Structure 1
Amino acid sequence: MARDERVTVISDDAGEFGKAVDGSQLVRGRILDWFHIAMKFKAAKISVFGSQTMEPHERIPVETEIDHAKWLVWHGTGRQSVFRIKALDATLLANKGYENSTLYWNLRRLYFYIENNAGTLVNYGMRHHKGLPISSSIPESAVNQVVTHRMAKKQQMRWTDEARRAMLGVEG
């Protein structure tokens, strides 16, 4: 990467990281990491399965609605997704005990997460189709593997300044 090349930053909603990135001249834009979005949807779907406030036959339509909302985010229409999740939440409020359920909290976490990060949502399907990154999970995993291997007690290795700079891209 050239020193003056502009980059798109993919991250979760980590506030401190966002503050550091927002002031940079080299940042083209920020994208909310698809992996983190998918995990929020997964938590909501899992809580449907374990919900005590619904009959088993009622769970499939709720899971389907969550899948539709996820599809909308994947295709860049986060606001429509939030609308559908809020409508689902409002419908489920009729169920006794729903306000105290895990599903209630996971759905609310999900729509607040999407709503609060609407400015960093993109058409993930289009980016994926073009071969552009939609998540930081692959580089994060690679860094974790290297660091874990390097720091394992059996290895007895230390980082040299040159290796640290090369690995992290840190100047100084």
Structure 2
Amino acid sequence: MIKPCLACALPRSVKSASNIVLRTLFGSLKIPSQRLYHCRCACAKRSSFSPIAALFPERSTPELVYLQTKWASLMSYGLTCDLLADILPLEHRLSPRSVRRQLHRVANCLEADLGDEIGMINTQSSMPDGKDRPPAPMTVGLDGGYVHAREGSNRKAGWFEVMVGKSVPDKGDAKCFAMVQSLDTRPRRRLGAVLDAQGLARGQSIHFVSDGGDTVRNLQLHLHGEAEHWLDWFHITMRITVMRQMAKSIVSIDTTDLSDRIDRDLARIKWLLWHGNHVDGAEAADLLTWYLELADNKEVAAKLEKALCEFSVYIRRNADFITNYGDKWRNGERISSGFTESAVNQVLSRRMVKKQQMRWTKVGAHLLLQTRTQTLNGDLRRCFQRWYPDMKSAA
């Protein structure tokens, strides 16, 4: 039965009748669909419309789209098609292109829900119930990774950088986020959404831990105005460990204990930086280069001298981010971004780098990262339930 126009109550005329195919988890359904003419009282751009087609614009049920998006976020598009074909009674095997198109559509919906960029990340306006003081600080680790790039038909476009972060509260589950920094225009809003989901409270501080790279350092400074920024202790001690290994190869006939002397000075630099004394630490690294003039194997000495100069520049450039690591460690605070390194491996490397021959456009990589982080955080199904209220929750 054709319903009349709601405005003038006149019956609508039928233009044509056909079937539309609705893809579900249990196969495809053919649903009769009539195409009706708009009533004369309606100001519409098109002369006709299909009520059934408007009811199912995606031609797929939310449950099927959810599975496609979730699995394509965790594995390649081709493997996703194979898995869907093996476990679901689909009449036709899905193509990787259609799965990718669905994932991009879902990712664009996530981006639309994100909202506009904000000036700074703001905390909630009220304290948590029953608390007189803010909860323990949240720790946010930031690190970068690189992905094979492609531009149009050019499959040798080099690499582009992807920023990956992980927020670890004192209590509750950690959540990760990722973005192609050169493409993303809402990094503060993106991180703010993650922190809000973890219950960031008024007055609660945020500790940013990073490796001191220029890209990461410039990003984190503009995320939260009152946050503390720490240089990752792991990257400091890793550089010193490498130089101590190089010092073992230093040989001098006149100064037999030259190698041990350099090693002791490097251990002293590590001790100074552990206690936050970056001024003396950088100066000690500069003075240590004078010892290398006594070395007989000039080639090894030149390599160590280059490493010392780079380390000195690294410390001076990140001087504002060097803290008293010993004091922080004794108070149980995080001083290393090891949890961020694992996030880079989980979010980026496993899906887009390791054993993957595929090259990515910046847009394609950015959209995939949004659905992948939502899947790894366990929030993807809740997003679908917000868009489709009738979708059942997971058992």
Report the TM-score range of the alignment, normalised by the length of the smaller protein. Answer: 0.7 to 0.9
- Mapping of 1:1-172 within 5 angstroms? 1-3=198-200, 5-25=204-224, 28-52=227-251, 57-95=257-295, 97=298, 101-141=302-342, 144=345, 164-165=373-374, 167=376
Cα pair 1:74 1:125 within 8 Å, conserved = yes
Greater helix proportion: 1
Give the alignment's TM-score, normalised by structure 2.
0.37
Structure 1 residues 95 and 140 mapped into 2: Cα distance closer, same or farther (>3 Å)?
closer
What are structure 1's unaligned runs of at least 5 residues?
Answer: 154-158
Cα pair 1:34 1:135 within 8 Å, conserved = yes
Match of 1:93, SS?
A: helix
Cα pair 2:295 2:301 within 8 Å, conserved = no
Cα pair 2:347 2:369 within 8 Å, conserved = no
**Structure 1 segments of 4+ aligned residues over 4 angstroms from their partners:** 52-56, 145-153, 159-163, 168-172
Cα pair 1:53 1:98 within 8 Å, conserved = no
Moved more, 90-99 or 14-23: 90-99
Cα pair 2:278 2:316 within 8 Å, conserved = yes
Distance in structure 2 (CA, Å) of the matches to 1:11 and 1:160: 20
Cα pair 1:78 1:121 within 8 Å, conserved = yes
Match of 2:257, SS?
A: helix
Distance in structure 2 (CA, Å) of the matches to 1:8 and 1:169: 24
Distance in structure 2 (CA, Å) of the matches to 1:116 and 1:148: 28
Q: Deviations over 1:21-67 (max 9, x none)?
A: 11123651210000100111012111111235676532111101100
What are structure 2's unaligned runs of at least 5 residues?
Answer: 1-197, 356-367, 384-395
Distance in structure 1 (CA, Å) of the matches to 2:248 and 2:258: 10
Greater strand proportion: 2
Larger RCO, structures 1/2 (Cα 8 Å, 6+ apart): 1
Structure 1 residues 18 and 164 mapped into 2: Cα distance closer, same or farther (>3 Å)?
same
Distance in structure 2 (CA, Å) of the matches to 1:30 and 1:139: 15
Alignment RMSD, CA only?
3.4
Distance in structure 2 (CA, Å) of the matches to 1:145 and 1:161: 14
Aligned length: 167
Distance in structure 2 (CA, Å) of the matches to 1:31 and 1:129: 16
Cα pair 1:31 1:120 within 8 Å, conserved = yes
Match of 1:2, SS?
A: coil
Distance in structure 2 (CA, Å) of the matches to 1:92 and 1:161: 50
Counting aligned pairs with the same residue, the percent is 25
Distance in structure 2 (CA, Å) of the matches to 1:110 and 1:160: 33
Rg (Cα) greater in structure = 2
Structure 1 residues 2 and 93 mapped into 2: Cα distance closer, same or farther (>3 Å)?
farther
Structure 1 residues 160 and 107 mapped into 2: Cα distance closer, same or farther (>3 Å)?
closer
**AA paired with 1:2?**
G
Give the alignment's TM-score, normalised by structure 1.
0.78
Distance in structure 2 (CA, Å) of the matches to 1:79 and 1:88: 14
**AA paired with 1:67?**
A
Using the TM superposition, give the Cα deviation of residue 12 of structure 1 relative to its aligned residue in structure 2, in angstroms. 0.8
Q: Deviations over 1:81-103 (max 9, x none)?
A: 11212122133335463796211
